[in-house]
């Protein structure tokens, strides 16, 4: 098969981890006789530096005209610590999510026996942890009206949800639940928020169409405890944008390193694949970042291309590196391998 992929390296460690995912995709292409073509595009602080725009039009164009997007990471402290900056890197990613209508961010959370020693949690809490967080990605407080009064003393962010926005991501989550352990947990704050009550009402309605799926409802404050106290209770977690941002990063601690976790953002347009970690400018360019999150994001891309064998082989290769302790510095500060070496090893295995 022939597939075209837009590659957006982005900021910080984005370029070096993405390069490893490309190596792996190339190895897959070689082994299975596919052809993957890459178009490199700009976004984020990198794009601001080069063009003044966090998301140049050519990037959107390319994304819309290719089969998938592979993305690295975004963000730079020089914007974070300047609350009055007018242009910021994250605007690029948010606009891209909106332009491609990527309404669902899918983050699988599982644990590796070989890495249990790394997790702050005791081993017994990590057994059988295997859930997926479905985070709504194009609505809520991220995209509501933002205002700052003229005197700069009053700021607001509106959080809005509509029935269709909730329904589309909910159906996707229910469909996954049906194929898995048939359990779906809605995380909200329905005792306080009007938007959460709308979520709860819609999910109660949709649930009647998925009778085999057991649904439960959890307040976000409680969920933030349950993810640590009893993570194996979860199968599919469905939640709105802001809560999903928080609890999916929190859940990454179960795995032992955020550097390992991939995500897929899917919707109406082209799908986008990115590791859940950030841009970590402090270690950028050092060849020490963990490329596994990006490599596993490429595996999710292969699934999306309907290439299950290919995806499986990538995951096998990753497991093999972890079991043999071919790991980066975040996992073993003493006996570590470089980012590029891990990429080579995974590609060679394939």
Ligand X SMILES: CC(C)[C@H](C(=O)O)[C@@H](O)C(=O)O
Give the binding range for its own copies (CB under 8 A) out of 49-57, 65-73, 148-156, 305-313. Answer: 148-156
> CB atoms < 10 A from the CB of 155, how many?
10
Contacting residues for 250 by C-beta, under 8 A, at least 6 apart: 224, 227, 228
Residue 158 binds which entry of ligand X, its own copies, none, CB below 5-8 Å type-dependent: its own copies
DSSP one-letter code for 140: G
Q: Which of 7, 73, 109, 159 binds its own copies (CB under 8 A)?
A: 159
Contacting residues for 343 by C-beta, under 8 A, at least 6 apart: 19, 20, 21, 23, 24, 291, 295
DSSP one-letter code for 83: T
The residue among 251 and 313 lying less far from ligand X, judged by its C-beta, is: 251
Site for its own copies in 4-33 (CB under 8 A): none
Residue 38 bears catalytic tag = no
Q: Is 55 in the site for ligand X (CB under 6 A)?
A: no
Q: Active-site residue among 23, 79, 142, 337?
A: 142
DSSP one-letter code for 152: S
Give the binding range for its own copies (CB under 8 A) out of 3-11, 13-21, 101-109, 138-146. Answer: 138-146
The residue among 15 and 75 lying less far from ligand X, judged by its C-beta, is: 75
Q: Is 250 in the site for ligand X (CB under 6 A)?
A: no
Residue 221 bears catalytic tag = yes
Q: Which of 67, 90, 167, 250 binds ligand X (CB under 6 A)?
A: 90
Over the Cα atoms of the chain, what is R_g? 20
Q: Which of 172, 247, 302, 350 binds its own copies (CB under 8 A)?
A: 247
Look at strands 236-239 and 146-148 and give their pairing. unpaired
Q: Active-site residue among 245, 280, 330, 337?
A: 245
Size (the chain), residues: 350
The residue among 145 and 179 lying less far from its own copies, judged by its C-beta, is: 145
Residue 344 bears catalytic tag = no
Residue 2 bears catalytic tag = no
The residue among 243 and 326 lying less far from ligand X, judged by its C-beta, is: 243
Residue 104 bridge partners (DSSP): 136, 266
Give the residue among 304, 297, 252 at the shortest CA–CA distance from 273: 297
Give the residue among 312, 9, 222, 246 at the shortest CA–CA distance from 107: 246
The residue among 66 and 196 lying less far from its own copies, judged by its C-beta, is: 196
Report the C-alpha gap between 202 and 198 in whole angstroms: 6
Site for ligand X in 215-234 (CB under 6 A): 221
Any binding-site annotation on 303?
no
Q: Which of 14, 15, 56, 75 binds ligand X (CB under 6 A)?
A: 75
Q: What CA–CA distances, in Å, run from 5 to 39, 62, 183, 196, 270?
A: 6, 9, 34, 36, 10
Q: Which of helix, strand or coil describes residue 193?
A: coil
Report the C-alpha gap between 233 and 241 in whole angstroms: 22
Residues of the shown chain interacting with ligand X in the complex, contacts defined by CB under 6 A? 74-75, 90, 93, 191-192, 221, 245
Q: Which residues are catalytic?
A: 142, 189, 221, 245, 249
The binding site for Mg(2+) comprises: 221, 245, 249
The binding site comprises: 97, 107, 135, 221, 245, 249
């Amino acid at each position: 098969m022939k597939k075209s992929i837009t590659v957006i390296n982005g900021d910080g460690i984005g370029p070096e981890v993405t390069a490893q995912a490309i190596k792996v995709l190339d190895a897959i292409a070689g082994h299975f006789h596919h052809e993957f073509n890459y178009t490199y595009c700009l976004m984020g602080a990198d794009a601001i530096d080069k063009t003044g725009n966090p998301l140049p039009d050519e990037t959107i164009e390319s994304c819309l005209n290719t089969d998938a997007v592979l993305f690295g990471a975004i963000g730079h402290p020089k914007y974070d610590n300047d609350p009055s900056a007018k242009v910021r890197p994250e605007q690029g990613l948010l606009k891209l999510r909106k332009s491609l209508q990527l309404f669902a961010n899918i983050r699988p959370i599982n644990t590796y026996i070989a890495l249990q020693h790394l997790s702050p949690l005791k081993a017994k809490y990590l057994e059988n942890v295997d859930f997926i967080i479905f985070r709504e990605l194009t609505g809520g407080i991220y995209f509501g009206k933002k205002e700052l009064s003229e005197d700069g003393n009053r700021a607001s962010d509106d959080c809005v949800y509509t029935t269709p926005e909730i329904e589309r991501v909910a159906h996707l989550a229910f469909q996954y639940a049906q194929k898995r352990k048939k359990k779906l947990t809605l995380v909200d704050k329905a005792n306080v928020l009007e938007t959460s009550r709308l979520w709860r009402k819609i999910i109660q309605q949709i649930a009647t169409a998925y009778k085999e799926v057991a649904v439960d409802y959890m307040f976000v404050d409680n969920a933030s405890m349950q993810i640590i106290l009893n993570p194996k209770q979860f199968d599919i977690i469905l939640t709105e944008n802001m809560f999903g941002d928080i609890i999916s990063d929190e859940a990454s601690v179960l795995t032992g390193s955020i550097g390992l976790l991939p995500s897929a953002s899917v919707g109406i347009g082209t799908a986008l694949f990115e590791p859940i970690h950030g841009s970590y400018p402090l270690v950028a360019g050092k060849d020490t970042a963990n490329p596994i999150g990006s490599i596993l994001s490429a595996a999710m891309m292969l699934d999306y291309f309907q290439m299950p064998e290919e995806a499986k082989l990538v995951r096998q290769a990753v497991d093999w590196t972890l079991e043999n302790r071919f790991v980066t510095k975040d996992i073993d500060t003493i006996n570590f391998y470089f980012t590029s070496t891990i990429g080579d090893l995974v590609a060679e295995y394939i």
